[in-house]
């Protein structure tokens, strides 16, 4: 009898083991099937999206993705390789936050927008991580706030310092931006080299161009002022053409330049002509003028002692710099009013803020990711990596 009971217990145990193993196998099979289903949906989406679709997506139009998405699946989007659509900039100087906002006007390139918003914060409490960048203009408290700035940089933040150096004797300022003394030089200030693999500021300077606000209306024409090489030129626009005032006799008056058209103006500093393009006309807002010369010349806007940086961005051939980069800490010498300097600030930020969520994913869910690359043109060479996060709603 005992033997019979023993055999019965063994039989029951085996049955339970088989049932449990079967249940586990069922769960694993279901889990694998669900993951494969999500990946299939993601592959279908990235294969179907075309270059024209990616522009619409970057401008927050998700109609294409939603049309390919089953109703029981939700999605998130991450972008790498191009500037963030909405960049939040911190300002620690309440008296000049408005001035910083005037530098950081919204930009349009390769069919998508980069918008800037400026917020004041109290640096004594540290620099919040949600700021994509912070901008200091003629700031003088680098020593007392050095630890806060370094901490923010170590978290991947971007710091733009628009300052003359403090007679080269502020070690903390120089350490943050990687500056050191050099001998003064002579010549024309240019970008040191066009090499986006080293630094992309010049690429974005040329690609973003200069936006001219045309908020005034006279005789059915919109008009505003383009500040270039520290001189203002009146710009009149219609819905499809631009007139640009000139400052030198031999240039004449440039009329009826169409969108996509080219024109030349002279920089009297080096007595050379430079080529520009009417990149885009927004009749009710502004016109964008794009510089095309990689050898674009800058007037001497240095208000600093003779300095050089870890990487010189705008400098004399001998090394004296007006703009440098130390990874994500970028120094620009204090400058007068002119659009090329404003574009330098925007380009410095845009070149560093290039990984972001276009639509936040729900990371608490079990999700899969599928990625693909999309080339953008034609204002500059860009490649957007789009990563789609997919998960079941229930």
User: Would you list the domain boundaries of the chain?
Assistant: 206-291
Alpha carbon 144 to its chain's center: 29
The span from the CA of 332 to the CA of 345, in Å, is 8
Whether the CB-CB separation of 131 and 121 falls below 8 Å is answered with yes
Task: Give the CA-trace dihedral at 103, 106, 107, 108, to 10 degrees.
Answer: -160
**CA distances in angstroms from 336 to 4, 231, 341, listed in the order given:** 100, 10, 8
Whether the CB-CB separation of 181 and 306 falls below 8 Å is answered with yes
Whether the CB-CB separation of 332 and 344 falls below 8 Å is answered with yes
SS3 229: coil
Q: What is the pLDDT of residue 4?
A: 42
Tokens of residue 228, six digits: 């270039």
Query: Smallest Cα–Cα separation from 195: which of 385, 351, 332, 356?
Result: 351
* Residue 230, CB-side half-sphere exposure with 13 Å CA sphere: 9
Q: What is the pLDDT of residue 21?
A: 40
Tokens of residue 98, six digits: 């408005």
Query: Would you give per-residue pLDDT tens digits along the chain (394 residues)?
Result: 545 444 444 444 444 334 444 443 444 444 565 788 899 999 999 999 987 899 999 999 999 999 999 999 999 999 999 999 999 999 999 999 999 999 999 999 999 999 999 999 999 999 999 999 999 999 999 999 999 999 999 999 999 999 987 655 789 999 999 999 888 777 889 998 888 888 999 999 999 999 999 988 877 778 999 999 999 999 999 888 999 987 665 666 789 999 999 999 988 888 899 999 999 999 878 999 999 999 999 998 887 668 899 999 999 988 899 999 999 999 999 999 999 999 999 999 999 999 999 999 999 999 999 999 999 999 999 999 999 999 999 7
Tokens of residue 275, six digits: 């080529």
Q: What is the pLDDT of residue 168?
A: 58
Handedness of CA 114, 224, 337, 296 (dihedral sign): positive
Residues 6+ apart with CB under 8 A from 289: 209, 210, 212, 226, 276, 277, 278, 279
The span from the CA of 389 to the CA of 60, in Å, is 16
Q: Considering the entire predicted model, what is its pTM?
A: 0.88
The span from the CA of 208 to the CA of 232, in Å, is 20
Q: What is the pLDDT of residue 143?
A: 94
């Amino acid at each position: 009898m005992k033997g019979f009971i023993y055999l019965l217990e063994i039989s029951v145990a085996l049955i339970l083991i088989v049932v449990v193993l079967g249940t586990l196998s069922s769960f694993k099979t279901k889990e694998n099937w669900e993951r494969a289903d999500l990946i299939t949906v993601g592959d279908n989406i990235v294969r179907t999206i075309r270059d024209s679709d990616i522009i619409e997506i970057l401008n927050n139009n998700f109609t294409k993705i939603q049309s390919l998405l089953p109703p029981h699946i939700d999605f998130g989007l991450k972008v790498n390789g191009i500037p963030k659509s909405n960049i939040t900039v911190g300002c620690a100087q309440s008296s000049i936050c408005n001035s910083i906002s005037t530098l950081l006007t919204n930009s349009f390139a390769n069919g998508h927008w980069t918008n800037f918003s400026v917020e004041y914060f109290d640096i004594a409490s540290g620099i919040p991580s949600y700021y994509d960048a912070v901008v200091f203009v003629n700031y003088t408290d680098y020593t007392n706030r050095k630890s806060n700035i370094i901490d923010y940089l170590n978290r991947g933040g971007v710091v733009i310092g628009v300052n003359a150096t403090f007679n080269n004797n502020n070690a903390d300022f120089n350490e943050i931006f990687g500056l050191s003394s050099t001998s003064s030089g002579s010549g024309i200030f240019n970008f040191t080299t066009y090499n986006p693999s080293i630094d992309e500021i010049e690429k974005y300077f040329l690609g973003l161009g200069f936006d001219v606000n045309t908020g005034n209306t006279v005789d059915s024409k919109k008009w505003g002022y383009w500040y270039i090489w520290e001189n203002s030129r009146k710009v009149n626009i219609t819905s499809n053409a631009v007139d640009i005032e000139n400052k030198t006799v031999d240039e004449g008056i440039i009329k009826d330049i169409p969108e996509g058209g080219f024109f030349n103006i002279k920089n009297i500093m080096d007595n050379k002509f430079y080529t520009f393009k009417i990149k885009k006309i927004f009749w009710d807002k502004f016109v964008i003028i794009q510089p095309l010369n990689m050898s674009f010349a800058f007037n001497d806007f240095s208000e600093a002692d003779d300095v050089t940086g870890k990487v010189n961005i705008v400098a004399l051939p001998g090394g004296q710099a007006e703009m440098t980069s130390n990874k994500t800490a970028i120094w620009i010498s204090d400058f007068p009013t002119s659009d090329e300097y404003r574009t330098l600030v925007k380009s410095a930020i845009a070149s560093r803020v290039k990984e972001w969520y276009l639509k936040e994913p729900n990371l608490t869910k079990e999700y899969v990711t599928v990625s693909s690359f999309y080339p953008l043109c034609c204002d500059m060479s860009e490649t957007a990596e789009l990563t789609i996060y997919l998960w079941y709603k229930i």
